[in-house]
Amino acid sequence: MDGKTMKEMQQEVDAYISQFKEGYFHPLSMLARMTEEVGELAREVNHRFGEKPKKAEEEENSMEMELGDLLFIVICFANSLEINLEDAFQMVMQKYNSRDADRWTRIDS
């Protein structure tokens, strides 16, 4: 990730998408694309940790690439809706830190 902030990643994706007349897909199309990418990640996880071995003729993918594809579409989705992912992340962490403060067994330090 070469030390980029989420804001910089959002700007980089926006610069990439902005070169094309089509621009960002509509939200429903992006949700379908995101679902497709989650499915590809699930397939890789199943190959690596599940009971379904890869077929000899199947293309070699990695969970890293599938997670990268998923991150790209999440950033596209956020950009298209003008959502700052750094702000969204802070809100989510605040929610987890308060809601789930006593939910899990803490490691003694």
Query: The domain spanning residue 69 has which CATH number?
Result: 1.10.287.1080
Q: Over range 69-97, report the average pLDDT.
A: 96
Domain that holds residue 73: 6-99
74 in a domain, yes or no?
A: yes
70 in a domain, yes or no?
A: yes
Q: Over range 77-90, report the average pLDDT.
A: 97
94 is written with which tokens? 């605040």
109 in a domain, yes or no?
A: no
pLDDT, position 1: 47
82 in a domain, yes or no?
A: yes
78 in a domain, yes or no?
A: yes
E strand spans, the chain: none
Query: For a pLDDT cut of 70, what percent of the chain falls above it?
Result: 98
pLDDT, position 109: 63
Would you place residue 107 in the very low, low, confident or very high pLDDT band (cuts 50, 70, 90)? Answer: confident
104 in a domain, yes or no?
A: no
108 in a domain, yes or no?
A: no
Q: How many residues does the chain have?
A: 109
Angle at 24 between CA 22 and CA 29, to 5 degrees: 105
